[in-house]
Chain A
Amino acid sequence: MQLTGAEILIRCLQEEGVDYVFGYPGGAVLNIYDELFKQNKVKHVLVRHEQGALHAADGYSRSSQKVGVALVTSGPGVTNAVTGIATAYMDSIPMVVITGQVPTNAIGQDAFQECDTVGITRPCVKHNFLVKDVRDLAVTVKKAFYLATTGRPGPVLVDIPKDVSQALAEYSYPKTVTLRSYNPVTKGHAGQIKKAVQLLLEAKRPMVYTGGGVVLNDAAESLTRLVRLLGFPCTNTLMGLGGFPATDPQFTGMLGMHGTYESNMAMQNCDVLLAVGARFDDRVIGNPAHFYRADRKIIHIDIDPSSISKRVKVDVPIVGYVRDVLDEMVKIVESSPARPDAAPLKSWWAQIKEWQRKDCLRYDRDSKLIKPQLVVEKLYEITGGDAFITSDVGQHQMWAAQYYKFDKPRRWINSGGLGTMGFGLPAAMGVQLANPHAPVVCVTGEASIQMCIQELSTCKQYHLPIKVVNLNNRYMGMVRQWQEFFYGNRYAESYMDALPDFVKLAEAYGHVGMKIEKPGDVEGALREAFAQKERLVFLDFITDQTENVFPMVPGGKGLTEMILAEEL
């Protein structure tokens, strides 16, 4: 039987087990929306701006291991979606983005709502397709899901002209698909793995540093087993939080620009570094020349060969799925009597404990103003460390990462690579839909939240009981912090004048709003908010305007050249 392109697309999505499509209709996707309307397997979530659709699909994927799917129209639908696509691309999130396009005969004619979607999105997708013949549609969708989820994951875009979604073709969905030009190396080299284990067993001052790759590849358990087996210290990147339990005594906290003193010192002073699913980026290791000055051997496990020796030369590269490689390492260690030399490991731990005594995350707990750190700590206590936390970008993001202890992967959802303000709220929508009974919190600031605040309306429509924790310091805090440190206190355009009354705003959208101004009220307000299980509660915490994020490695400096709170 012949089906239209739109019917074929919806059948494909059903075949892929897609529960939710996040999108926004428009002229070029009307055929597709009409087919969505006629069925109920694939549910559609109507956002208020295409950026929100992409972030919601992204949050859905990050919190569930499934592919996030978004559907937007041509032209402005696509350009609005670009920020969300680039966000997912930088953090390697598996997504399939369906875009409408003007009819094939109008392409290139500067038609209404036409843009070169494939051209505009090319640098920020893993791959993209323009489907010009309806007979290619099913196999293209199959390829898109295959590419998005294998190797290093990422967003894949399928651009469908309106006449293609209307045209008829025989439908059959391929069970598998192969591309002769796409064969990612997925199995780590056995010899290299042995060499790596040998190096780890001989280490005197070992350090394990893991990133988003561990979370994405569901390798947290394997990593935890290996690290505990070896007794080594472990740090996570911003993207890697939850990859190793934060409450484990072997965890030294996040590393990097706002990482803990002990993690950064250990990174610099270790003799063997095991890097897993991480990419040594500038916010993590600071100045690469400074980082490289230290004499240490580096083992790097990653699915993407181009991540290896990109910024830092490594000694033992292993390309493959990190979970399989870690499992293999565990097997080798378990089957061998050799263990790391206890004496040097003990003195290394003593050194780390010494660094920990700096208590680098200390802050003024007796302040009369609400300290943002306190809000996150209370949030952690009240949710038992088990909530899904999304964030936007800036100081609040760092405080959430520093003070909420993530014991499980996929609980911490943030835009690490691209650093997209406006990510938190729509991402939380996706997280809540993927985890309907779990507490979902969006930790944000008064600047970030306004970048996608329109999604409060979507939350109302779909009854998403997200808790928005707004750390309101009336500044773009991170910008203000840099201006204070590096621009002589000249706060150029970082003060937010004329802020809305967030309580009234939340109420106007049909939600509950609360304003909290005293430290003593923080815990009570949070408890009250979480007691409202069915409602979205917007908690507007009026926090200390002058609070800064510490420790801090200034841009371009070495990882150990940290500014600590006590030094100011």
Chain B
Amino acid sequence: MRHILSILVENEAGALSRISGLFSARGYNIESLTVAPTEDPTMSRMTIVTSGSDDVVEQITKQLNKLVEVVKVVDLTEGNHIERELMLVKVRAAGKDRDEMKRLADIFRGRILDVTDKSYTIELTGTGSKLDAFLQAIEPGVILETVRTGASGIGRGERILRI
């Protein structure tokens, strides 16, 4: 099953490699990983999307907690949460496809950030599956380039992750 882990970690050189190294050393999956400093510059927040049985995810959480630089770990998928991912996609937009592409971007609430006479660069935000749906909705041949940030997540309502 897919899990989203939110991790507060000391903003120190090497912390990222400790975490990614843990996943490769123990054979855990990483679907995506994002990290950036928080409002407290000494601390970073990482979101890791992983998959595995409940036992495996329990082990992942325990092993992460064991790392000295990890401050806190929460499995967001254990409760209500919001998940967002940003995608930039450059598509061919020429001739009769040009209007269709604009329409599709509007339907998915995308924004066109950059325009040439042959292409659009569209910004899309949403859950991973929404971004997948957009890519499936357009013809594969028109996709020139995509880049995705991987998921970020936060708990809903009073669910707060901080120290």
Contacts and interface: CB of A to CB of B under 8 A. Distances in A.
A118 interface: yes
Contacts of A122: 14, 17-18, 21
Contacts of A335: none
25 contacts: A119-B17, A122-B17, A122-B18, A122-B21, A123-B21, A123-B25, A126-B68, A127-B68, A127-B69, A147-B68, A179-B68, A180-B71, A181-B9, A181-B69, A181-B70, A181-B71, A182-B68, A304-B66, A305-B62, A305-B65, A305-B66, A306-B62, A306-B63, A306-B65, A309-B58
Given A123-B25, A180-B71, A306-B62, 11 more contacts: A118-B14, A123-B21, A127-B69, A147-B68, A180-B163, A181-B10, A181-B69, A181-B70, A304-B66, A306-B63, A309-B55
Interface string B57-101: 011001101101111000000000000000000000000000000
Contacts of B62: 305-306
Interface of A: 118-119, 122-123, 126-127, 130, 147, 179-182, 304-306, 309-310, 313
A118 B17 CA distance: 10
B18 A306 contact: no
Contacts of A130: 13-14
Q: Which secondary structure characterizes the binding site on chain B? A: helix
A136 to B, nearest CB: 12
Contacts of A119: 17
A313 B53 CA distance: 14
A162 to B, nearest CB: 19
Contacts of B14: 118, 122, 130
Contacts of A305: 62, 65-66
B2 to A, nearest CB: 21
Contacts of B68: 126-127, 147, 179, 181-182
A182 B10 CA distance: 11
Contacts of A147: 68
Given A123-B25, A147-B68, A181-B10, A306 B17 contact: no
Contact of A306 (B10, B13, B66, B70): B66
Interface residues of B, number: 20
A118 B10 CA distance: 17
B39 to A, nearest CB: 16
A158 B13 CA distance: 14
Interface in B1-34: 9-10, 13-14, 17-18, 21, 25
Nearest to B62: A306
- CB-based closest 10 A-B pairs: A306-B62, A127-B68, A181-B71, A182-B68, A305-B62, A123-B25, A306-B63, A306-B66, A181-B10, A181-B69
Q: Which of B9, B55, B66, B163 is most buried by chain A, counting CB atoms within 10 A of its CB?
A: B66
A364 B17 CA distance: 55
A304 B10 CA distance: 21
Nearest to A306: B62
A306 B163 contact: no
Contacts of A310: 59
Interface string B99-133: 00000000000000000000000000000000000
Nearest to A128: B14
Contacts of A304: 66
Contacts of A179: 68
Q: Which of A122, A127, A181, A306 is most buried by chain B, counting CB atoms within 10 A of its CB?
A: A181
B124 to A, nearest CB: 35
Interface string B133-162: 000000000000000000000000000000
Interface string B37-68: 00000000000000000010011001101101
A208 B130 CA distance: 54
A181 B7 CA distance: 11
A127 B18 CA distance: 9
A478 to B, nearest CB: 26
Contacts of A306: 59, 62-63, 65-66
Contacts of B71: 180-181
A313 B56 CA distance: 12
A310 B63 CA distance: 10
A180 B63 CA distance: 17
Contacts of B25: 123
Nearest to A185: B65
Contacts of A126: 68
Contacts of A181: 9-10, 68-71
Nearest to A124: B25
B40 to A, nearest CB: 11
Nearest to B70: A181
A118 B13 CA distance: 11
B11 to A, nearest CB: 11
Contacts of A309: 55, 58
Contacts of B59: 306, 310
A180 B62 CA distance: 17
A293 B70 CA distance: 36
A119 B17 CA distance: 8
A41 B91 CA distance: 71
A485 B104 CA distance: 67
A180 B40 CA distance: 14
Contacts of B17: 119, 122
A249 B47 CA distance: 54
A181 B18 CA distance: 14
Nearest to B68: A127
Nearest to A129: B14
Contacts of A180: 71, 163
A306 B9 CA distance: 19
A306 B59 CA distance: 6
A385 B13 CA distance: 50
A90 to B, nearest CB: 13
Nearest to B42: A180
Contacts of B163: 180
A86 B55 CA distance: 26
A405 B59 CA distance: 36
A182 B70 CA distance: 8
A248 B121 CA distance: 77
A310 B18 CA distance: 20
Nearest to A147: B68
A520 to B, nearest CB: 52
A179 B67 CA distance: 12
A145 to B, nearest CB: 14
Contacts of A313: 55
Contacts of B69: 127, 181
